[in-house]
Amino acid sequence: MIQLCDVTVTYRDDYTALDHVSLIISKGEFVFVVGATGAGKSTFLKLLYREEKPTSGTVIVAGQNLTEMRLREIPSLRRKLGVVFQDFGLLPNKTVYENVAFALRVIGANRQVIRRQVPNALEMVGMAHRPDAFPHQLSGGEQQRIAIARALVNDPPLLLADEPTGNLDPETSWSIMELLNHINVRGTTIVVASHDHAVVDRMERRVLGFEKGVLIRDEKCGVYKEATDVREARQSVTR
């Protein structure tokens, strides 16, 4: 689903946000991207939806080589992926239904498709009972559910989320993660950048750890940060 080959991203010609990163994410995986602020997590996600271009190296997403991609090809990539952000990004003057329908309208879906897909997406995120609410009438967790419905209404194979629980309390964060987990089990590949130690540790999924743009860790069943005693024990075994 995702392949990065020796990818470097340099901002302003001198600041390296991603440094020679190579990795593969297969169809159906659930992957966390962790690291301190400025480590390159958002830059990594932006590469995947072609908001940023690599300075060097190759990025392939859903069979498309983004390095060579022309501007007019970007919409066809974006149709294959949904993106969710920390601040939800809902349109304040549109209802829940309209916010989700909007994502289909911009890609030219017809009325029949919209009438079928929007209720399905709302049902999947557990918000089918509030189609007429406006974003300000919903809690943060509910707004994030709508943002996830909007990202998934087109049934894309890949969902990217940048700090999706950054503004939510622990319990609500966990319910959003359970929702993402459920979506993953149905077959969608998911990549989540997160600062949320508790959630990452509890999910026990693959963890990519970045430090100053370098991929320093890739663990199959990882935690946010390896505890010092675990690291020491491991080092003493390898010694």
Q: Return all residues near 26 (Cβ < 8 A) that are at least 6 apart.
A: 1, 189
Does residue 41 interact with ligand ATP by CB under 6 A?
yes
14 touching ligand ATP, by CB under 6 A = no
* Closest CB to ligand ATP among residues 142, 162: 162
State the nearest-atom distance from the C-beta of 196 to ligand ATP, in Å: 11
* 37 binding ligand ATP? (CB under 6 A): yes
What is the C-alpha separation between 228 and 188, in angstroms, rounded?
34
Residue closer to Mg ion, measured from CB, 128 or 214? 214
Binding ligand ATP (rule: CB under 6 A), the pick from 39, 66, 124, 192 is 39
Decide if residue 42 touches Mg ion (CB under 5 A).
yes
136 binds ligand ATP (CB under 6 A): no
Nearest in space to 35 (alpha carbons), one of 175, 158, 162 = 162
Number of residues that bind Mg ion (CB under 5 A): 2
Q: Please provide the size of the chain in residues.
A: 239
Q: Nearer to ligand ATP by C-beta: 43 or 154?
A: 43
Least separation in angstroms between CB 166 and ligand ATP: 9
Partner that binds at residue 38, options ligand ATP, Mg ion, none, CB closer than 5 to 8 Å by kind: ligand ATP
Would you count residue 15 as binding ligand ATP (CB under 6 A)? Answer: yes
Q: What is the Cα–Cα distance from 90 to 97, expressed in whole angstroms? A: 11
Alpha carbon 17 to its chain's center: 18
Q: What is the dihedral of CA 84, 85, 88, 90, to 10 degrees?
A: -70
DSSP E strands, the chain: 2-11, 15-25, 30-34, 56-61, 64-65, 81-85, 158-162, 189-193, 206-211, 214-219
Q: Which is nearer to ligand ATP, 44 or 97 (CB)?
A: 44
Q: Is 38 in the site for ligand ATP (CB under 6 A)?
A: yes
Distance between CA atoms of 91 and 2, rounded to whole angstroms? 30
By the 10 Å C-beta count (0-12 exposed, 13-18 middle, 19+ buried), 158 is classed as: buried
First to last CA, the chain: 37
- Check residue 95 for interaction with Mg ion (CB under 5 A): no
Selected binder of ligand ATP within 2, 7, 32, 35 (CB under 6 A): 35
Smallest separation (angstroms) from Mg ion to the CB of 51: 12
99 forms part of the interface with ligand ATP (CB under 6 A): no
Give contact residues for ligand ATP (rule: CB under 6 A): 11-12, 15, 17, 35, 37-43
